[in-house]
Amino acid sequence: MVVGELVQEYDVVVIGGGPGGYHAAIRAAQLGRSVVIIEKEKLGGVCLHSGCIPSKVLAAAAAKLHAIRNSSLFGILTGEVEFDLAGLTGHKNKVIEQLHAGVAALCRENRIEVVYGSAYFLQEDRIAVESGDHYQVFQYKNAIIATGSSPAIPEGIICDGEQIFTGRSITSIQVVPEKLLVYGSNYIALETALSFKQFGADVTIILDGRKSDFSFDASINRELERILKKHGIKVVKDATLQKAMVENEKVEIFLQTEKEALNLQGSHLCVSLAPKPNLEELGLDRIGVELTEEGYINIDEQCRTSKQNVFAIGDVTSGPPLAVKAIKQGKTAAETIAGQTAEADLNLLPMIVHTIPPIATAGLTEAEAISEGYEIEASQFPLATNGYAAIHNQRDGFVKVVLDKKNDILLGVHIFGFGAVELISAGTIAMEMAARDEDLTFPHYPHPSVNEALLEAVEAIKGRAIHLAFPKRKEKVKS
């Protein structure tokens, strides 16, 4: 630092303006702290500009296309349906611009300063920011690291944004691929596959890292295999991507399985793997922030790092790279800084996938519950027998619950089907409150609605579900 350099002082410096960062900043400002956000690119971060929001715009368009193509069941005759990617791109960009403007307005209203540039720690209470030739120094009482993550790319693969894409960059593709190869097994890979299949692409998913299946509950994996086959999406398992070559506007990929080498050809390739945390440029070694063995920032339940006045949230910390995690951690860090009692417990993070139909899960799978030593009971209720699902011709999927057999406490909820994204919150809240089966069967459920599928899934544990032809067991009647 140059002697005599002007130092700006803030109570809280937030490095990164993504969902976690701006939630942390606004919450800290609400609690009376002076706050500055240092953002390298755009407010809203990857989630708003190339992740959550644009990918869900594509998924929403795919769902609408699917619905329109099946609208004749409702007496709605549309003729041949055409899809215009350019039109969808225009809508996507408009949504992003509106939400970006909204985040900027919230920061202004909360008197949060926003500075653009690359940040790095100088010492335990100072951060430098560089933007071109411009250099600033900020002194802070507390800092929150929210720098997010970058796509992980296999060695030797070059994502050129023309034929080979990441799960983020493919949201800006200019053409519908003739034949799309998707390498990955996370929610982005699934959403990409289902969306572009509806847009007209021939799609193949290659599970990464020689995985033999997706990471959901076994019941969802089985149904997912059926649904992908129903949509005409091919799945390659137990393979590792070795190399990808682009020639004459075609992509050829080389895979290695346990038994043989394979090669597949397509017009485009999308690589969607677990991202890597953005930490390299922060100078964490200067202030002694400790990392985990996997390379994430080590934090406690208040999101505090090994340095008392430095916090970390989101993708730079261990756990699923989900915005919901970053948002909760951001608020927790801000409230802890303000002296409030706060905690970020990630055990019941809901995870959603906007496939057709959607997937939503929270809590333990059957296998996880057994491995943790629980004696369990599990049941599932098929949406094929739910009246509201029948009305909408959305019969695929089910609601599954996992309970602790010893005390009837709910351990996991796994939903695959119509209404899953909205319904999962009921399961999450129930588990947060350590609900027993009777807590879920006692309330009234609106009729007709998909909510009733959750009720009957729980009732099925003890053979009380009305709309199951073969109850798990008959209830004993006392004389």
Asked if 193 and 333 sit in the same domain, the reply is no
**Higher model confidence: residue 471 or residue 463?**
463
Asked if 258 and 326 sit in the same domain, the reply is no
Peptide bond into 443 cis (omega under 30): no
- The strand pair at 351-353 and 149-150 is best described as unpaired
Does position 469 have pLDDT exceeding 90, yes or no? Answer: no
Asked if 265 and 197 sit in the same domain, the reply is yes
What pLDDT score was predicted for residue 1?
43
Picking from 248, 271, 294, the residue at the C-terminal end of a domain is: 271
In the chain, pLDDT over 90 holds for what percent of residues? 94
Picking from 254, 271, 288, the residue at the C-terminal end of a domain is: 271
Edge to edge, what strands does the sheet with 239-247 contain?
239-247, 250-257, 261-266
369-408 residues labelled b (16+ CB within 10 A) or e (exposed): beeeebebbbbbbbbebbebbeebebebbbbbbbbbeeeb
Q: Each residue of 228-270: pLDDT tens digit?
A: 999 999 999 999 999 999 998 999 999 998 889 999 999 999 9
**Containing domain of residue 394, as a range?**
357-462
Is residue 129, in this structure, part of any structural domain at all? Answer: yes
Average per-residue pLDDT in the chain?
A: 95
In the chain, pLDDT over 70 holds for what percent of residues? 97
435 pLDDT band (50/70/90 cuts)? very high
Asked if 106 and 174 sit in the same domain, the reply is no
Does position 413 have pLDDT exceeding 50, yes or no? Answer: yes
- The domain that holds 288 is classified in CATH as 3.50.50.60
Asked if 362 and 453 sit in the same domain, the reply is yes
- CA 69/CA 2 separation, integer angstroms: 65
- CA 114/CA 404 separation, integer angstroms: 48
Q: Each residue of 275-303: pLDDT tens digit?
A: 999 999 999 999 999 999 999 999 999 99
What pLDDT score was predicted for residue 471?
46
Per-residue pLDDT, averaged over 109-133, amounts to 96
Per-residue pLDDT, averaged over 40-60, amounts to 97
260: Cβ–Cβ under 8 A, 6 or more apart, which residues? none
Does position 2 have pLDDT exceeding 90, yes or no? Answer: no
Peptide bond into 448 cis (omega under 30): yes
DSSP code, position 295: S
Is residue 90, in this structure, part of any structural domain at all? Answer: yes
What pLDDT score was predicted for residue 156?
87
Asked if 369 and 443 sit in the same domain, the reply is yes
What pLDDT score was predicted for residue 6?
85
Task: For residue 249, count other CB atoms closer than 10 A to its CB.
Answer: 10
Q: What is the 3-state secondary structure (H, E, C) of 219-284?
A: HHHHHHHHHHHHHCCEEECCEEEEEEEEECCEEEEEEEECCCEEEEEECEEEECCCCEECCCCCCH
Does position 3 have pLDDT exceeding 70, yes or no? Answer: no
What pLDDT score was predicted for residue 476?
52
What pLDDT score was predicted for residue 5?
63
DSSP code, position 475: P
Asked if 311 and 261 sit in the same domain, the reply is no
What pLDDT score was predicted for residue 241?
94
472 pLDDT band (50/70/90 cuts)? very low
- Token couple for 424: 């999962």
Asked if 260 and 281 sit in the same domain, the reply is no
| Adjacent-strand bridge partners of 172 | none
Is residue 2, in this structure, part of any structural domain at all? Answer: no
What pLDDT score was predicted for residue 259?
85
- The domain that holds 425 is classified in CATH as 3.30.390.30
Q: Each residue of 124-142: pLDDT tens digit?
A: 999 999 999 999 999 999 9
Asked if 246 and 297 sit in the same domain, the reply is no
Asked if 142 and 287 sit in the same domain, the reply is yes
* Residue-level length of the chain: 479
Is residue 478, in this structure, part of any structural domain at all? Answer: no
Does position 227 have pLDDT exceeding 60, yes or no? Answer: yes
Picking from 249, 271, 293, the residue at the C-terminal end of a domain is: 271
The answer to whether 269 and 153 are in contact (CB under 8 A) is no
What's the domain count of the chain? 3
One-letter amino acid of 312: A
Per-residue pLDDT, averaged over 406-413, amounts to 98
Is residue 158, in this structure, part of any structural domain at all? Answer: no
What pLDDT score was predicted for residue 470?
57
Is residue 421, in this structure, part of any structural domain at all? Answer: yes
Does position 167 have pLDDT exceeding 90, yes or no? Answer: yes
- Whether 447 is a known active-site residue: answer yes
Is residue 435, in this structure, part of any structural domain at all? Answer: yes
Active-site entry in 23, 100, 447, 467: 447
Is residue 475, in this structure, part of any structural domain at all? Answer: no
What pLDDT score was predicted for residue 479?
42
| Adjacent-strand bridge partners of 203 | 180
What pLDDT score was predicted for residue 90?
98
Asked if 189 and 246 sit in the same domain, the reply is yes
Asked if 362 and 328 sit in the same domain, the reply is no
Q: Each residue of 440-466: pLDDT tens digit?
A: 999 999 999 999 999 999 999 999 999
Does position 475 have pLDDT exceeding 60, yes or no? Answer: no
